[in-house]
A and B are shown apart, each in its own frame.
Chain A
Amino acid sequence: MLNRRTLLGASAGAAALSFPVFAFGQAQATDKRLLVVILRGGMDGLSAVPAVGDPAFASLRGRLALPRTLALDDTFAMHPSLPKMHGLYRAGELLPIHACATAYRERSHFDAQNVLETGASAPFARTEGWLNKALGALPRARPEMGMALSAQAPLILRGATPVATWSPSGLPDVNADTMSRLLSLYEARDPALANALESAMSANTVAMESGADDMSGRAGRNIVPMAQIAARFLKDDSGPIAAVMETTGWDTHANQGVEQGALARNLTQLDSGLDAFKTEMGAEWRNTVVIIATEFGRTAAPNGAGGTDHGTGAVAFLAGGAVQGGRVLADWPGLSSGALYEGRDLRPTTDLRAVFKGVLADHMRISAAALERDAFPESASIRATRDLVRA
């Protein structure tokens, strides 16, 4: 029997098994690339990017105030578990965005993630993701313009624009002939299954070439190999121009730790994942923007269990060779008790849609009209942030 590698090797000359790249040859793909990393659960922004220069910071944070940080500017610093990202900041390739939020002002994960990913002003107002809509506004130069590094496309990538999905497998390799027979059966009976199978065959070609078939079962909690695969897909000549990765475990209600602990481990993962992605992108890093965002921030003060609860103002990051970084983007509201939102959360002063629109407009060159009409309807009053990327 054939394994997947021989299947895909053999398929190079067989149109039935290979992706119909030729059909999309006319449209010229942009050389810009975008990776979106969603931190699910609500990252504690005041731990990741503490406002150590704010006079209220130390007393407000109490036992969660970091004794040692990596300096950014007079007001802000970074968690010691983010050394690589701190290096990017110093190289001008990282832009932390503080006190930011979606349009959502309550505290449900599911609602907040829904708003983060649909770009709408209220939860469950739309069923398609803003990245899917934005990619739909570009000339369709690739069979699948977007890709999810997960078994299912997250909401941000769902919609009419075809997207691919890929994740590592621990199951035995498949028989090429069986798959091609099933594809014929699906083509006759079930177009949705046919599209999915065809797309999976194509994604596996790229993954095989990057040696990803060796990762079975090891992906687990380590985002480094996934970040490397994401880079391989984004670099591939017929691959997606935007990809989405997700990490979980940011919902630190109890015992989140300070310099060490659950949150620090998550930050270390994020830091090494981004570093591995940069290395793997190589020369293409200069054409790349990485958006790292979470659904909401957490309460400014610790709770009674050594953790933080669902809050509002959050931290996001832009990273990449195309990013005009080396500064913190924040209209800082302050942490005095009068400044806090509802007396408990960091007050949001930057709308994340402004940041997303800025990246899509200036980096991906998506027209303002398409952004207002498709990706972020009803956001005309939220102006795209300029100067996020290098000219």
Chain B
Amino acid sequence: MPDMHLAALAAHRFGFGPRPGELRLIAGDPRGWVKSQLGRQPTLPPAIAALPSAEEDLWAFGRWLVRRRMNGANAERVEDRAERQGITQDELRRLSIEDEFVENFRERVVRAITARIDAAIASEQPVHERLVHFWSNHFTVSTAKPAAIALPPSFEKDAIRPHVGGRFADMLMASTKHPGMIVYLDNWLSVGPNSQAAQNPRRARRVPGGGRASDINENLAREVLELHTLGVNGGYTQGDVQALAAIITGWTYERPRLRELVRENGGDRNGAALFEFDAAAHEPGPKTLLNRTYAQTGVAQGEAALGDLARHASTARFVATKLCRHYIADTPPAPAVARVERAFRDSDGDLRVIMETLVDSREAWETPFAKFKRPEEYAISLLRAANVRELPSNGSVAALTTMGQRPYAAPGPDGWADSAEAWLTADLVWKRLEFAQAYGERVGRADVDPVQLGEQCLGPLMSDETRTAIQRAESPAQGFALLFGAPEMQRR
């Protein structure tokens, strides 16, 4: 017996909303439809497969820096003008490196954002794509940091996608070893004070703008504990942060050499292949983290520590809470959290089993509209409803930015907020409605009636008030705008 109500819930709550006609396919077995997408996906969406590799992105960055330095004629002209205006060489150099770099990479980033949205719009595995977005937000690498601007797309492709439906421990390891994370949270600058590199500063790595790194940087270690594993109340101390920071000193990535860049035969290696353990920067000796002493040497020390963090009871609780908050309610129901937490522990962090437990929870199918869609999710659900196959090129990425959630650009390492409190504000609601109206007009085609489209997207979830409002619209375009702006499309 087809269940259109559960089908609509499944499509919106676990996917990105249905494309026209999709609800009928789901209705035969809504739970089964969700569960069939929880495992690992053997192939990448075409839009994602076409993205450049991590190595190519890093090389493009490197080449661009080299070109800038070698571009003599241009440099002279700019320098002359700077001198007339009383700008120092130093000032000029810093300004141009930061600003022009960002400018240069904007187009590259827009292509990657478009690929991410296209994959979600076109996907026949939308539950899987939602999970990719969830985990990519849990392990945030953001273009908001100029030095990391090229890296979030390959981070998501290399460190997140292969492990969605796999093991949490593997995803944590892949994330912590990816150049994207290593650059975003500064670990490539972290040098053990008793390492060979610190003893002989000429061996230490150069830092941007001159000088050499010569000290431990705690950033990555702190966020691994606070945001990726145990959670802020997970029972660790500043001493544990320092210990983990020392444990992962030397975790860096292979940076292209000038000779390679000049040859311009772009690399196709992924982030995992670019990981490099720099023994010279590694703080020697055993370290004690969370009352356990790690006596391993080299990279094995950090691998052992991350393995234990991935299996820690606080990690199970923290991840279970976040998943239930994301899929069920801003204040997640405690019984569901407890079941998912137990599944995390019992399955040794098997993400497929964990999600199956969540999907099997009664609470996941109750209280429709408990969650307010985030702007990116909202936009994707409108585009799917509108039967669009690709993100319209004209200003769509800018529209997402205006709506408050430019993909890959979370403001900080804690990622995007996951509660209505953060998103249901006057200003953001206004901007969602501007978007709804703009796309209502764009898709206002003569061959679909807005009420029919509402039935195709929402099934029995569409309220009588919404149906009446759409029926009374003065034009199809206004009807689509009302459907897209309706509470049932804003929430899930």
Contacts and interface: CB of A to CB of B under 8 A. Distances in A.
A151 B429 CA distance: 9
Contacts of B423: 152
B232 A123 contact: yes
Nearest to B472: A181
A151 B412 contact: no
A177 B478 contact: yes
Contact of A200 (B395, B414, B429): B429
A15 interface: no
Interface string A186-209: 101110110111111101100000
A99 to B, nearest CB: 21
Interface centre among A178, A188, A195, A253 (most CB of B within 10 A): A178
A170 interface: yes
B255 to A, nearest CB: 16
Interface in B424-459: 424-431, 433-435, 437-438
B427 A200 contact: yes
B186 A253 contact: yes
A185 interface: yes
A169 B434 contact: yes
Contact of A260 (B88, B186, B481): B88
A305 B10 CA distance: 49
Nearest to A204: B430
Interface in A116-145: 123-124
A276 B393 CA distance: 37
A171 B226 CA distance: 37
Nearest to A258: B90
Contacts of A304: 189, 191, 204, 207, 211-215
Given A171-B434, A305-B217, A152 B428 contact: yes
A307 B479 CA distance: 55
Nearest to B144: A248
Interface centre among B98, B422, B434 (most CB of A within 10 A): B434
Contacts of A71: none
Given A110-B414, A151-B404, A170-B398, A192 B430 contact: no
B485 interface: yes
Contacts of A173: 434
Nearest to B463: A189
A110 B94 contact: no
Contacts of A204: 430
A309 B426 contact: no
Interface residues of A, number: 62
Interface in A294-332: 303-306, 309-310
Contacts of B42: none
Contacts of A171: 399, 402-403, 431, 434-435, 438
B215 A185 contact: no
Interface stretch (A158-166, A363-371, A383-391): A158-166
B94 A107 contact: no
A178 B208 contact: no
Interface string B349-391: 0000000000000000000000000000000000000000000
A106 interface: yes
Contact of B211 (A107, A181, A305): A305
B269 to A, nearest CB: 26
Nearest to A265: B95
B207 A255 contact: yes
B238 A106 contact: yes
A111 B429 CA distance: 28
B465 interface: yes
A339 interface: no
A254 B88 contact: no
A16 B151 CA distance: 48
A142 B116 CA distance: 43
B414 to A, nearest CB: 5
Given A108-B222, A169-B431, A199 B189 contact: no
Contact of A178 (B191, B404, B481, B491): B481
A151 B189 CA distance: 34
A177 B474 contact: yes
Contact of B210 (A106, A170, A172, A306): A306
Contacts of A196: 424-426, 428-430
A197 B433 contact: yes
Contacts of A164: 426
A217 interface: yes
A150 B222 CA distance: 28
Given A217-B398, A304-B212, A174 B434 contact: yes
Contact of B430 (A110, A181, A188, A197): A197
A169 B217 contact: no
A170 B401 CA distance: 9
A380 B369 CA distance: 42
Contacts of A260: 88, 90-91, 94
Contacts of A248: 144, 411
21 contacts: A153-B425, A166-B426, A170-B401, A171-B431, A171-B438, A173-B434, A175-B437, A178-B433, A190-B490, A193-B487, A193-B490, A203-B426, A248-B411, A253-B219, A255-B209, A260-B88, A260-B94, A304-B191, A304-B214, A305-B186, A305-B189
Q: Which 7 A-B pairs have the closest CB atoms?
A: A304-B214, A200-B430, A171-B434, A199-B426, A304-B215, A255-B209, A200-B426
